[in-house]
Each structure stands twice: as structure tokens, then as C-alpha cells.
Amino acid sequence: MAFSSSPLHILLSKIYTAGVEAVRPASLVRQAMKVDALSSTLHIDGKQYQLQQNVLVVGFGKAVLGMTVALDSLLKGHIKRGIVSVPLGTTLQYSTEALVDSNIKVIEGAAYNLPDPPAETAAREILQLVGEASDGDLVVALVSGGGSALLPVPGIGISLEDKRKTIESLSAAGAAINELNIIRQCLSQVKGGKLAAKACPAQMLGLILSDIVNDPLEYIASGPTIPQLPDNTLALKIIKKYDKMESLPKPVLNHLSQLHLNSAVSATPSSAHVHNVLIGNNSMATRAAEKEARSHGCDVVTWSHAVQGEARDIGYFYAEIACDIMNKKIKGIDITERIKTLTNSLSLSVPHEDIERLYNEVLSFQHESSNRLCIISGGEPTVTLHGNGKGGRNQELALSFAKHIHHLMQRELEITTKQQEKGKQEVKGGKSNVLFCSIGTDGQDGPTDAAGAIVNGESWSNALRQGLDPDRFLKENDSYSFFSTAQGASHVKLGLTGTNVMDIHILLIE
């Protein structure tokens, strides 16, 4: 199901869509570069490249097909060959007609964002093509999130299955993307700058769309175009942190331990031939979403572009904020104390200044206007899996929000009832005045066909009335099944969007 036709759902849909539209990969490529046809010169990020039928194109990631189409039309006639690795199903959704006469081959793989044999074939072909580049060539690498799964070339002695099990096991234990990608870099023949090394002596130009908080280029898609040394000591530390030294495949642990012993002698690889350019990120999307919300008369607060932490705790946090706002409690509270209490009990990783600013901005709106309030943020929470259900971080976050807003409002109702009994009156917000969604910009939330979910203040009680046990779905990490079954709450199914800049959260309060 997509967004429903209720006015608030339509508003949410417009805000989310504006965010995604702002990070359409083809437009980002066109904005980043200019080609002077007369002099056959490519201008980008203050540098110039001479074009003379000397371009090789490689690409890997969820947003790469759109980037490829734009690059192909901009550099027409100068591209000798190209290979791009994109998620299975991409070419069904996006026409590749524009590439019919192109020298770029598109390979699909990595179903459900997991490395598989087709992705490995693509990755090996890419590595070979880049290895064939000679002095005077320009290798353009199109990079976006999802690239790690689409570019697997395991280190010597490690199988694709070993690598996949390693990443799945650490991911299920709650490892963050930076941690996963440090390990991927050590287990790969192409990640962590090894693709850039292969291009030498040709020039390499990386165009990167970020799907990691704070845009660390070395970790996006595991940084194949960023010259760097693998940090095996750190990789082993991460494995110990998640208590996986005993359970990961032996070839993986052996490989890391051997590299760990050898790493002291390695020299930092050369970066003189490499130029990486960041062409888009989550803050571009959230800024556009903010503009859209404002154009519909909302008071808008953009909380953060860096929301990280356990998805269910973040859902809880949004519920607390919503409750503070609806009950007009913000006015009377000591914001610093409130933030301390909340962050001490929750596993959140958002700068304190961001939370403080959020409360202060909401407070100023409450003084000045009675418009609908819209809080927008972006980021990428994680899920520590405890159950065997089907779901994703966005659906779990939304379900957790539904649970906590229900309980918090229930508690408020009890307090108000007692106060009314004592003759005191209090202004209260209704549960139906709040709508929340958490949606991946790539259109795929975890190993499911949903992009995320929308809930309101009554989603939890509706499920209870339906005879469901929503808590069991949450405990079992079974959010997808919950949203497939419950009435009045829904997951959002959009199909692959063709871009990828993490997730967008939108909280609307009347």
C-alpha cells in the first residue's frame, strides 16, 4: 500500500516525495559537472579533464543507474566502455532505453541488498576493466549506498558465503554501518581504496552520493575509490565488541589476524591520481522536505540529519517529543534536564545541541503560532535483532512510536482525569492529532518490499481492538507482519526509488 488519500497522508507523501526528488541521481550528476563541447573539457569541483574518447565508467550502488544515464548523455562519444552494478529489479522499474546505444553494460544483482554471485561477477568485471585503464584514460566511478553488496570481491581464501555470513551476523547484533564497512574493507580485494589503486596510472574521478551520517567518503559503499590502509586491528576490535570471535567463519578470522600482523609494514597508498566529489546527501533531501512542508503552511523544525541509534529507542524519543508538544509541556520544563533524562535511558546517538535546538524551536513556535507543526529529520538507525520476524528499521521505528505514543497519552489521560476530579482543568491534545512516518529514501526497508511505515496516535489501540498483540510483533522484530495485518496503520510500498540518502522521519502534529 502507498500513502492513503486522507489529507494528512497526502501532505506526508508530498513532504517525503519532495525530499526524494531533491536527490535524484541524474540531476545531481548534471549539477556537479559541466562539459564544454567545443574544447572537449569536463569541469568538476574546480578541476578540468580533457576528454578524448578516453573515459571508462564503472558504478555500484542503488542510485547508480540514474547517475549512469546522466553521465552517458553528458560524455557521449568519449566513453570507451563501462560496467555498472545495480540492484536486482532496477531495470524493471527504470527504463534503460537511454542506454541502448551506450558502451556501458548494466548488471543486476545483490537481491535484498546481500552480495550474491551476479554481484560478484559484476565486481570482478569492474576490477578487470579498471585494471585495463592506461595513462591518459579517465576512470569515472559512480558510487552510492548499497555499493558494498553490489561490489563483492572477497579476499584470497574467503568465500562470498563467509563474507555474507560475517556481515549478516554483525548487522543482526546491531553493528553500525561504519563498523560493518571497516570489516568489509579488510575482507575485500576492491573496497577500501583498492579500486583506486587498480586504476593507476589513469586518473580516477569518483562521484559519490552519501548514505552515511556526516558523509564519511571512506565508508560510503566501503570506499573503493578512497585511497586508505585497511585497519585490521580495528576490525578485530569491532568483532570482539559484538562478541563474535567464536562464531564468525574461521577463514575470515584467520584472514584478519594475518593482515593484523602484516599491517605495520604497509605504506599509505598514493592518492595523486584520484579525485572524489560528494554530489548529494541526506541534508539536501531534508532541506527540500522542509521547504515543501513550509509551503503547505506548516511550522517546520528540522531536527537533525544525523539520527542514529537503536530504532525502537528513537521511536520512543519521537513519542516523548510529540507528547511534550501535544500537552504543551515544553513551556514549563527545564529543557536540559529533560534531555538528560531522555538520553540517559535511551540508546540514541544524536548531538545534544540538535535536541536542545529542537525543543527551543518548538517552544518559539508554540508562543507565536497555532499552525500545524512538522518535525523532519534524517539519519540511519540500527536494529539489534532479538526475534525471527520480518521487518526493517523504519517499520520497527514507526511501530515503537505507535506503542509509546499510546502509552504516554494513556498516562496523560489518567493524570488529567484525576486533576479534573479535583476540579483542575488542563488543555489536552488528542491522539488522532499526530501522524508519524519513517521511510527509507531508497524505497527498501530491510529485507522487505516496503519502504517504511506510517502510524498515528491510535494505531496501537486499534491493533489491540482488532485482537492483535502488537507487543509480540515488536519483540519478534516482526514489524512487516504487523503492518501487513493491522488496520489503520500501514507500511508504505513505493518500489525502489532509484536514489539512496538514508531515511527520512516526519512527525506532524495538529
Ligand X SMILES: O=C(O)[C@H](O)CO
Mask for 77-116, x = binds ligand X (CB under 6 A): ----------------------------------------
* Residue 383 touches which member of ligand X, ligand ATP, none, C-beta under 5-8 Å by kind: ligand ATP
Site for ligand ATP in 184-213 (CB under 6 A): 211
We find the least distance from the C-beta atom of residue 332 to ligand X, in angstroms, to be 42
85-108 burial, b at 16+ Cβ within 10 Å, e below that, comes to bbbbebeeebebeebeebbbbbbb
User: Which segment (39-47, 65-73, 96-104, 142-150) binds ligand ATP by CB under 6 A?
Assistant: 142-150
Site for ligand X in 137-156 (CB under 6 A): 145-148
User: Which segment (71-79, 354-362, 385-393, 458-466) binds ligand ATP by CB under 6 A?
Assistant: 385-393
Q: How far apart are alpha carbons 130 and 338 in whole angstroms?
A: 54
Exactly one of 19, 315, 389, 457 binds ligand ATP (CB under 6 A); which one?
Answer: 389
* Residue 222 touches which member of ligand ATP, ligand X, none, C-beta under 5-8 Å by kind: ligand X
Q: Is 63 in the site for ligand X (CB under 6 A)?
A: no
Which is nearer to ligand ATP, 148 or 166 (by Cβ)? 148
* Cβ within 8 Å of residue 423, ≥6 positions away: none
* Residue 120 touches which member of ligand ATP, ligand X, none, C-beta under 5-8 Å by kind: none
Give which of 366, 381, 510, 352 is closest to 445, Cα–Cα.
381
Question: Which phi-psi region, left, alpha or beta, contains residue 491 (left: φ > 0; alpha: ψ -120 to 50)?
Answer: beta
Exactly one of 35, 500, 507, 509 binds ligand ATP (CB under 6 A); which one?
Answer: 500
We find the least distance from the C-beta atom of residue 106 to ligand ATP, in angstroms, to be 18
- Write the CA distances from 403 to 22, 394, 416, 426, integer angstroms: 32, 14, 20, 24
Task: For the chain, count helices (H), then strands (E).
Answer: 19, 17
Exactly one of 78, 390, 406, 505 binds ligand ATP (CB under 6 A); which one?
Answer: 390
Exactly one of 9, 24, 62, 404 binds ligand ATP (CB under 6 A); which one?
Answer: 62
Cβ atoms of 448 and 111 closer than 8 Å: no
* Cβ within 8 Å of residue 75, ≥6 positions away: 35, 42, 51, 55, 57, 140
Sheet holding 373-379, edge to edge: 299-302, 373-379, 503-509, 434-440, 452-456, 490-492
For 246, phi then psi, to 5°, come to: -85, -25
Q: How far apart are alpha carbons 241 and 239 in whole angstroms?
A: 5
* Residue 304 touches which member of ligand ATP, ligand X, none, C-beta under 5-8 Å by kind: none
For 350, phi then psi, to 5°, come to: -135, 135
Q: Is 221 in the site for ligand X (CB under 6 A)?
A: yes
Binding site for ligand ATP (CB under 6 A): 62, 113, 145-146, 148, 171-172, 211, 382-383, 385, 389-393, 396, 440, 442, 444-447, 477, 479, 500
Binding site for ligand X (CB under 6 A): 145-148, 177, 181, 211-212, 220-222
